[in-house]
Amino acid sequence: MNIVNDLRGRNLSSLSCPCSKVAIPYSQILSIKPEYHSICSSEYVSLSYIIDVRKKKDNISAALGAHYRLLSSLCQSSHRFIENAREVFDTFELISVETLTRSSFDIQIQSLISTFISQIPANYRRTLSFIVGSFRVNQLLHRFRTNWLIDLTDENEQYILKTFPRNFSSSNCSCAISSNCSEPLTGDIVTGCFPYDGFRLSKFENFSLQKLNDELFVETWKNTSNYTNYFETCSPLQCQYILPDRNNPVIMLTNILGLYGGLTYSLRLIIGESLLAYRWWIQHVTKIPDINEIS
């Protein structure tokens, strides 16, 4: 690496240091690790806490249990989604025929990382939107039973299973005609026709849960790259460059003509400006006014 850097320091335009290995896996030269929000490691996502909430067996506790179960599920889903994406990303390869300089390497790596970080949340939101949209459009009855209520009939009605849409009295909204119905449950927690509808409107310590989920509950990304590993994997076996033959008559003639042309232009510029300055001095400084003309 020191030899190549020394050659590059000479500004040799014809320098060529081809890699002996053109394709280099991302896993060998860079690393991307997410740091998740503390909510995904809080007691609210633990199974014991959710069970304790559901043991109260009232409507509010049942809705809270559904809310925290959804939170736990989304935290796990985002973690799996990122890990799967990282595994695929690590198999991709950086293609470089010529050995990259440190600055060129850093620019390319930063571009790869930025693309990965921006695409992962977008792919996740698209997948989640498709799942939630399927329930809304088809009005499916889900296990939380927050959009449709079930009524078990007796023998007189031949044990027919009846369903009724859920109505929100506070907003006079029915899940049969709208999927955007919602009402406050407790504190910063909101409930809706579908658990996710209430979840996205809820907050945690003044943080929007929808925004946290859209970013896969990631607070920061830690990224590292290793140029030394890249150079060792690229492993250029030789460098080639061509030095100009200064004794070549053609090169000598070109240099002389270039020097002559530069001197000629400079002399013309200097002499021309000097003549203009002399004429101005003659006309404005040395001219003596005539007394008759003044009269």
**Per-residue pLDDT tens for 217-243?**
999 999 999 999 999 999 999 988 887
pLDDT band at 62 (very low <50, low <70, confident <90, very high): confident
| In the chain, where the domains are located | 2-139+202-234, 249-286
**Range list of β-strands (E), the chain:** 23-25, 30-36, 93-95, 148-152, 161-165, 167-168, 173-174, 182-186, 189-192, 203-204, 207-208, 218-225
Q: In whole angstroms, give the CA distance from residue 186 to residue 44.
A: 15
Helix-strand-coil split of the chain, %, nearest 5: 55, 20, 30
> What average pLDDT does the structure give for the chain?
84
**Per-residue pLDDT tens for 77-99?**
999 999 999 999 999 999 999 99
Specify which residues 115 forms β-bridges with.
Answer: none
**Per-residue pLDDT tens for 30-58?**
999 999 999 999 999 998 998 888 888 78
Q: In whole angstroms, give the CA distance from residue 236 to residue 231.
A: 8
Global pTM value: 0.72
Looking up tokens 């990282």 gives 86
User: To the nearest 10°, the Cα dihedral for 207, 210, 213, 217?
Assistant: -10
